Structure 1
Amino acid sequence: MIGPSGSGKSTLFKLLAGLYPEYGGTISAGTVKLNNQEVSTLVPFERARHIALLFQNPTRQFAMRTVEEQMTFALENLQLTPQRIAELVAATLKQLGLESFRRRQLLELSGGEQQRIALATILAMGSDIILLDEPFANVDQAGRKTLLADLKAMQIQESKSIFITDHDLTGYRQLVDHLYEVNTDQKNIHEISRQRLDLTAAETPVQNRMNKVSIFGWHDLSFQAGSRTLLKPHSFKLPEGQVGLLSGANGAGKSTLFSALSHQLNYHGQVLYKNKKSEKMRIKKWARIVGVVFQNSTDQFIKLEAQDEIALSQQNSLQPYYWTERRITAAINQLNLAEVLNHVSYQLSGGQQKKLQVLSMLIMSQPILLFDEPLAGLDAVSLKNVMQLIKKTVTDLKISSLLISHQRVGVTEFVDYELKLADKSLTIEGEVKEHNGQA
């Protein structure tokens, strides 16, 4: 199922899963029935035997500490025997190539890894109908391809009905049987030709035109996650006024790098700002130099309503003469947020939350901005608008920025260079053409 951010795809899935109207919203007409019984009237464990829903944000489905504990807990709620639960956990992890994650702590996993575990939990439940809301938003391309193949095999071999919402249409052409679109003008859903999947745009190669000017970087930086070394000693200067893409597989350490640079994680080596060591700088002062757009939007929100979130950023902006009322209003309209300003931030769609989060951090305008998956859950138009806004702000204010994204189509054309984190090393991808730093 496709449709613009905020069109109601996630809401529809929650209705189909029986979560609404009990936990939000109202049904103005009609009913959702399973075997001639209203879904919302079924007791939760009985409902889950037939319908399983994967939330857009996987952490909202986690209640336990480790992967094994989480999967076991979910299956216990189906009132299965301990022996059957152990068999299902082992079989599902093996099927999805996740056996090594069995005893890993959920909070130590990357966003993409968490998404894969949440999906594994849903699949282990064995429901007849599976609803997946943006299941690959933070998953690398290799993982996405594998999971899609696994889902197709499950649909054919086990007669599952699988519904997926996704803004990235890559890889679906030979897999889907039906394609539906949400029409926001007519407020309805209709089936469209699968030929739409043939119109997926091609990826634009990264030009790698790096600026020589830099005020931020690191020297012999290395760090670990638990006992695992994620980066061996590495030195780099982040170009000023440019957007860099940080790529790499799930679990490679991209988000951990951001945590190190923002002083939220212990590391070895030095992080430098204006040729001075930052390690002795107070965290409050450092937060006004290095801003991080978190992977989970709701972790960033402070105020209840969207308009108050923007107003707070405006009050604390480091570039108040740039972020005038007129510019902020234009950005709000560009991101199609005008109609949700008085809505509760936590009740917005995933895509709307991302746009609000990115705008709030751009208004803050720290000289260093690190974007951790800022495009997850965005439709093509929203993605383009967000990237245009990021690019213009970074260029105008000479901000040094680095962006993590597994979505490449529609992104790489706005990127000035690419860093890849793999095998505990950071490398510059492609041929580098030096840029003189002029906007």
Structure 2
Amino acid sequence: MRKPSVNIFWFRRDLRLDDNKGLQEALKGNLPVLPIFIFDKNILNKLPKNDARVTFIHDRITKMREELQTSYGSSLGVYHDTPVNVFSSLLEDFEIEAVFTNHDYEPYAERRDNQVYDLFEQEYIEFNSFKDQVIFEKSEVVKDDGDPYVVYTPYMKKWKQTLGDTLPEIFEIPPYGDNFLKISELPFCSLEEIGFTRSDIEVPDYDLDPQLIRDYENSRNFPAKEGTSRIGPHLRFGTIGIRSVYRKAMAEKNETFLNELIWREFFMQILWHFPHTRKESFKKKYDRIAWRNNEKEFEQWCKGCTGYPLVDAGMRELNATGYMHNRVRMLVASFLCKHLLIDWRWGEAYFAEKLLDYEMSSNVGNWQWAAGSGVDAAPYFRIFNPITQVSKFDKDHKYIKKWVPEYDSDNYVTPIVDHKEARERCLATYKEAVS
């Protein structure tokens, strides 16, 4: 019996059926499109078995599968293996002419795509990948001499100039047709079958209400307020298209909100141009810092038991919800690196495990910013004061009391380090390393 000829669309960080560039291109073709998702063992094997992000992904692809079945008479094949093994298996059942997907820029993703490309080349399969999770990628926004920007503000200005030169077509993805493979039975894996259990932590819906965007700069710094969009996980996994988000930001003419989105692309192009920064300081001399790396103090920081209430509230919020307010993220990162002199890589790895919106480029970029070792970083002598940060951003202690109920009682832990002494120790240690 002759195998059916198909094109494949491979969902990865683009878990939506609308406003999806690679899916649109796949559906333009002459062959029916078989949609698939792969729970990649190379990634899953490193995650906790109740990882909330895996639950979120599984719920999302379940909904997409149901929509494909109901609206298109198609389905979504869900596999649990390495991508090379999955595609080798699919070749036994289908004559695959081309595979379509969207770009992923992280170091593992590039290695993975090179591996499947080698397989496709052997089997004479076209591999087509498209820009979808950003407006500008790689070297699309660089200096006039072609070098990448390593300072945010000139990058941001060039980004906006480049956008102005390409509007409106950059935001337009025309409606695409119903060229899905008509098939009802495709493999599907339950959470249990991929070795996971349902997490108690849920990814909240995002809020892109026009009023929230308009009020963004007035409310975004106060963790007790619901002043942020919570869009991070949805951008990370592509449950909303980046073009839709930019359209909303530009409709409200809010430069602060728009600039935060541009920071995301700034850090993505930094990681792409300088992949070594995933593990090494961008400013090499900062790898000479004599970190104390006290394991007990690190554990107290992780648990939110440092004796500094805004730091502790942030860490407890992270542990309980997978989220931490951005203002507090800066403080807890600075506290770990500067007050405790613990290597930024320890904190980056902990955030990578806990954050629902974990994005390697932003996480590495922001941790290196806090440590002073990255691009456009805060100078090493800038050390957040965890006491005055409370009076600036949580003066009524609403956020603190929510997450540290024993605050202001005899049950609250004493500070693990004196602020003044820690500051002086940090300045001396950094100065010795970078001078």
**Same fold flag (TM > 0.5):** no
Task: Decide which structure has greater helix share.
Answer: 2
Greater share of residues in strand: 1
* TM-score after normalising by structure 2: 0.29
